[in-house]
Every structure is written in structure tokens, then in C-alpha cells.
Amino acid sequence: MAESFEIITPLPGTHFGALAQLRKGGAAQAVVAAAEAAPEVLPSALARANGLLLLRGLAAMAGDASLLVRLSRIFGPEVEDYRRTLTSRNQVHETVPEIFIVSNVPPVNRAPPPRPEPPLTSEGRLPVQYPHRVGWHTDQSYRRPPPDISLFLAVAPVSRDQGQTIFASGTLAYAALPESLRRRVDGLEGLHAQPGSGRSRRDARAGTPRRTYAAHERSQRQPVVRTHPVTGAPALYLCEGGQMDWYDGPFVGMEAGPNGEGAALLDELMAHLTRPEFCYVHEWDEGDLQVWDNRCLVHTATWFDAAAQQRVMWRTTVHGNPGPLYAGEKKSWIPELADNSTD
Ligand SMILES: [Fe+2]
């Protein structure tokens, strides 16, 4: 059954990622059936491609949302049920609670990120590298254990020169890290905070007063160099302005705050991690599905003209194999499970 999919790697214009397509062709139903019949094929292709796998032509999934959940289950033991994880209901699919909706259309009403300034590089290209490009994160890193994999389906993408998703490989970036930086990050921990919770770099710069956080809302430590539980490869595991704690972090044991020693290190690391040779820009077509591994990739979204275009994307999140570092930990973000004993 392994030959049912053809795996083409890397993705165009980069050094990682793969396209998986049915040799015989076929739409969403056939893709999911083939993936279930040989459940090791797509996860192993994902691992070999350093964490990014593209499938195309799945537009029929929009008419049968359960297909996306079935495909997600191939990639791990637990597909998040967003009704149980403090996610506001307007962002969750009405009948399939494993689907999180990213859209500028009601009832979600999520605005796109702003355009970079200037909008293009001096060579006329889409900016990818931090700090020209911002918003880089790995999904839900403010939770312990953090998730493994996200699946993102273009139900209604915007036109191809807008609303892209950009990925950067933490594996390639770590392998190319200068020795001086590698010594600084090995063993270091970052402090990750939920976006919108008042701990962002912007909050810290503006002097937003700190509030008290309940146990399940607290910032979480994560290794800056994360060992992938499937491949064993080390990868940079970091976010920037909106998803680190800029009051007590961004790094544990370094000078905290938006202008401290930790901030300077984070800026240096993030600029390295998002060097163009470690990045891939995905231009979405309807029915494209990107599967990405949050354990070794960061990503960011780009601007689109929300006044003129409507965008609907569906995401699922797969949990269950964060690696031995997290063995036995209860879900930090669930109030009944969060550890109240430590600050
Ligand atoms: Fe994300």
C-alpha cells in the first residue's frame, strides 16, 4: 500500500517539505481512504520532509468535514476537541468540534495581520525574515505538553498573491547555527505566553499593568532546542512578540523584558531561524491542505485585503507525542488539571 502515494520532496524553492499525491489520482474521499489503509505512509513522509507535507485537490473536504478529522487521526493519538479547551465558540465548527476556523467572515471575524513595512523587500520580494516579517510562532506553545501537528485546509483562500502562510524550518536553522549561538541556546528555556493575554512585547513596551494569572493561564517553559521525538533531530523552538512572556521572559534565567539581554538574544535567533533559505512561502489554492509539525517548524500568516476578500481556513490540532521531556504531565491549560502548586 505504501506505493499508493507519490511523495515529491522538497517543496519548490526551498530545502524541506514534500508534496504527497495519489498515484491513481482521486479526490478527498480517496485520499483519506488510502491514508487510512497505509497509516504509516503520510506520517513518515512528514518526518522525512522535516515537518511539512502538502496535499492538494481536497476541496470536497469542505462538504464533509469529518474527512479532515479522519485524516488528522493518521498523525497522532488525539485530535483536539475545541469545545473542551477554552476556545471561544465562534471559532469552532458548528458540528465538528475538532475544527478550528480561521476566517475574516462572521462569526469568526479574525482580522488579517498588517502588511510589513515596507510591503516588499528591496528586491521586490515578499519579506520573510524577522524582524521585517513578524508573527512567527509555533501553534499553542503556551501549553504543556505542546501539540504535535496542525492540519490547515484552504476551504476558501484569497487570491494567490495574498494570505500566504510562511514556514521556517527549526531543524535546518539549528543545524546551521553558529557555534557561539549554539552554546548559548543549548539547555536554555523560553517562556511562552498565550497571545492576547497581556504579556506580549507590545504590552511590555507600553507598560500594560500585569494581572494575576490562574494556574491554567500561566506562561509555560519550553526548551529553545527541542529534540524531535520521531526523528531525534534538534530544532529551534521559539516564538516572538505575541507568543512569549515579555515580563518574566523571553528566556528563563536571562535579563527579562522587551529591551533586555533575553530580548537581544531572541531577536538574533529569530532573524537566523527565518533566513530565506530556511523558509517556504505557500500560496494557497482551494482544497490545499498543509500538514505541519509544530515540534520543528514555525510559521506566520501574511496580510490580505479583508475589505475585498473573504478567507475561510479550517485547522485541526493533533496531540500525543511531545517527547519524553513531557512524560506524565497533565494538560496545563485545562483548569481542572492545571498544577496549582507552583507559580
Ligand atoms: Fe498558527
The DSSP-derived string for 133-195 is: S---B-TTTTSSSPP-EEEEEEEE---TTSS-EEEEEHHHHHHT--HHHHHHHTT-EEEE--T
Low-confidence residues of the chain: pLDDT under 70: 1-2, 340-343
Q: Which secondary structure element, helix H or strand E, spans residue 292, and what is its range? A: strand 289-293
In order, the DSSP letters of 207-264 are TPPP----GGGS-EEEESEEE-TTT--EEE----TTTB-TTT-SBTTS--STTSHHHH
For residue 140, how far is its CA from the centre of ligand 1 (angstroms)?
A: 8
Give yes or no for a contact between 315 and 152, defined as CB atoms under 8 angstroms apart. yes
**Could you give the angle at the alpha carbon of 69 between the alpha carbons of 106 and 29, nearest 5°?**
105
For residue 250, how far is its CA from the centre of ligand 1 (angstroms)?
A: 19
Question: pLDDT tens digit string along 260-283?
Answer: 999 999 999 999 999 999 999 999
CB count, 10 Å around CB of 193?
27
d(CA 39, CA 163): 31
From the list 44, 33, 310, 284, the residue with the least C-alpha distance to 152 is 284
For residue 138, how far is its CA from the centre of ligand 1 (angstroms)?
A: 6
For residue 234, how far is its CA from the centre of ligand 1 (angstroms)?
A: 21
Question: How many angstroms separate the Cα of 262 from the Cα of each of 83, 177, 249, 268, 299?
Answer: 36, 17, 7, 10, 22
For residue 137, how far is its CA from the centre of ligand 1 (angstroms)?
A: 6
Q: Provide the pLDDT for residue 343.
A: 45
Q: Provide the pLDDT for residue 86.
A: 82
For residue 1, how far is its CA from the centre of ligand 1 (angstroms)?
A: 32
Give yes or no for a contact between 142 and 331, defined as CB atoms under 8 angstroms apart. no
> What's the predicted TM-score (pTM) here?
0.96
User: Could you give the domains of the chain?
Assistant: 7-326 (3.60.130.10)
Q: Provide the pLDDT for residue 336.
A: 86
For residue 294, how far is its CA from the centre of ligand 1 (angstroms)?
A: 9
Give yes or no for a contact between 323 and 146, defined as CB atoms under 8 angstroms apart. no
From the list 53, 65, 82, the residue with the least C-alpha distance to 28 is 65
From the list 308, 332, 50, the residue with the least C-alpha distance to 193 is 332
Question: How many angstroms separate the Cα of 12 from the Cα of each of 19, 147, 255, 279?
Answer: 10, 27, 41, 11
From the list 264, 216, 250, 289, the residue with the least C-alpha distance to 137 is 250
Question: How many angstroms separate the Cα of 57 from the Cα of each of 26, 285, 286?
Answer: 8, 9, 8
For residue 71, how far is its CA from the centre of ligand 1 (angstroms)?
A: 19
Q: Provide the pLDDT for residue 340.
A: 62
d(CA 121, CA 208): 33
For residue 300, how far is its CA from the centre of ligand 1 (angstroms)?
A: 7
For residue 290, how far is its CA from the centre of ligand 1 (angstroms)?
A: 12
